[in-house]
A = this chain, B = another copy of it.
Amino acid sequence: MSSASFSTDVYLDRLSRVRAAMEERGVDVVLLSVGHDLPYVTGYLAMPLERLTMLVLPLRGDATMVIPRLEAPRVVEQPGAFGLLPWGETEDPVELVAKLVGGAQSVAVGDQMWARFLVDLLPKLPSARFSRAVDVVGPLRARKDAAEVAALTAAGAAADRVAAQLHAGEIPLIGRTEAAVSADISARLIAEGHDIVNFAIVAAGENAASPHHHAGDRVIMRDEVVLCDFGGTMNGYCSDITRCVYTGSAPTTEIADAYAVLHASNAAGYEAGRIGNDCQDVDRAARKVIDGAGFGDYFIHRTGHGIGMEAHEDPYMVEGNAQPLAAGHAFSVEPGIYLSGRWGMRLEDIVVATDDGPVLLNHADRSLVTVEA
């Protein structure tokens, strides 16, 4: 739905680069369904429903999009890129896909394709070896071109404006529930230009120690950390930012000292986001600061994830990922410190690796701002 649209030339170029990657990896055919690999190469985002939409993309020969007949009118055709094969309500789309795959041996399937369709394909393609299409398409999607960086920059600026409203006290906190503040932030993301809101985590006090806390009925009080992690999709590209604020008055020394460590960790991760480093170097740099301050056991997740058409995508900033950073890699740097049952904090920006070093896409105040209301 909220998918970027480019000229046909862009899709033809991307398809050509996908085919080059297929050849390099020995992949005969790529199958793309729900998820964002499909719009990356066709401009069309499949509806996540039980009716199968699937692009059958062979190394050589024409690509075909198998699509429910009633959804076919939604597709903007890209001449030369792919053909449409609409199926009727009483046909078996998996059979159509299997015929198009034919005798192909090495079949790469999209990450988020529903497993039911792969289960149905297995007996129809008994000699096929299956692999993950993300290994073919992911490295291409990970390197954003200028238009994509511009879209991410615009989405980041819109999220920054909401963060600034939070800092300015325009989003009242004390006495409201997390859920009410989450709805307020969501409305502001839309008002600032996002097409959809992907998440708006609001976690107060002890709830902030659960990194993916779902905003609930907990009422925000004075003198606590409120963690706000929010983002949406704007013109097909995502924002994602985390800022913590302190309610009522100045934070305690314990909180202020921990936050200083967090802030330094975020800065170290950003600095490490440069060409010549691996993805895991970003994680190591951010983690080293937190480890050094004695909070290592309380930083319980990786430092970041790639971002683009999806809020989470390749490359991941995690120990064990030795993939070298390249120009156009866009990713989050989001260290956190979580003391179970007490408090939590996280500081997140989006960074793009460029030939001139890391570039921040978020500029909202990174300090632990006190919000009085």
Which of A's residues lie within 8 Å of B, judged by CB?
1, 33, 47-50, 69-71, 73-74, 88-90, 109-120, 122, 130-132, 134, 209-214, 300-302, 305, 312-313, 316, 318-320, 340
CB-CB under 8 A from A115, the residues of chain B are: 33, 109-115, 117-118
Q: Are A212 and B47 neighbours in the complex by a CB distance under 8 Å?
A: yes
- On chain B, the residues within 8 Å of A340 by CB distance are 73
Nearest B residue (CB) for A2: B214
Chain B residues with CB under 8 Å of A109's CB are: 115-116, 119
Known: A115-B109, A115-B118, A319-B90. A211 touches B134 (CB 8 A): no
* In the bound complex, CA of A286 to CA of B50 (Å): 22
Q: Which single member of B48, B71, B118 contacts A212 (CB below 8 Å)?
A: B71
Q: Tell me the dominant secondary structure on chain A's binding face.
A: loop
Q: List, sorted by A's number, 23 A–B pairs whose CB atoms are closer than 8 Å.
A: A1-B214, A33-B115, A49-B312, A50-B111, A50-B305, A50-B313, A50-B316, A69-B300, A70-B211, A70-B301, A73-B209, A74-B212, A74-B214, A88-B300, A89-B300, A89-B318, A89-B319, A90-B318, A111-B114, A114-B115, A115-B118, A116-B132, A118-B118
Contacts of A302 in B (CB 8 A): 89
Residue among A115, A213, A316, A318 with the highest chain B CB neighbour number at 10 A = A115
A324 to chain B, nearest CB (A): 19
Smallest CB-CB separation from A283: which chain B residue? Answer: B89
Q: Chain B residues with Cβ under 8 A from A112's Cβ? A: 48, 114-116
- Give Cα A212–Cα B134 distance, bound, in whole angstroms: 28
Shortest C-beta distance, A51 to chain B (Å), equals 9
Nearest 4 interchain pairs by C-beta: A73-B210, A113-B115, A111-B116, A70-B211
Please give, as numbers and ranges, the residues of chain B lying within 8 Å of A71 by CB-CB distance: 211-212
Residues of B within 8 A of A134 (CB): 116
In the complex, A234 Cα to B150 Cα: how many Å?
37
Q: Give the chain B neighbours of A73 by CB distance below 8 A.
A: 209-210, 213, 340
Q: Which of A73, A305, A340 has the most CB of B within 10 A?
A: A73
In contact, B210 and A74 (Cβ under 8 angstroms) = yes
Q: Which residue of B lies closest to A116 (CB)?
A: B111
Identify the closest chain B residue to A302 (Cβ). Answer: B89
In the assembly, what is the distance between CA of A122 and CA of B48, in Å? 24
Most chain B C-beta atoms within 10 Å of own C-beta, residue among A33, A70, A210: A70
- Most chain B CB neighbours (cut-off 10 Å) among A49, A89, A122, A302: A89
Residues from chain B with a CB closer than 8 A to the CB of A305 are 50
Report A299 CB to chain B, min CB distance, Å: 10
CA distance A313 to B116 in the complex (A): 13
CB of A355 to closest CB in B, whole Å? 28
CA distance A69 to B113 in the complex (A): 25
Within the complex, the shortest CB–CB distance from A263 to chain B, in Å, comes to 21
Q: A50-B305, A109-B115 are in contact. List 19 more A-B contacts (CB 8 A).
A: A49-B312, A69-B301, A70-B211, A73-B209, A73-B340, A74-B214, A89-B302, A90-B320, A109-B116, A110-B115, A111-B114, A112-B116, A114-B115, A115-B115, A118-B118, A118-B119, A119-B131, A119-B132, A120-B132
A312-B110 contact in complex given A71-B212, A318-B89, C-beta closer than 8 Å = no
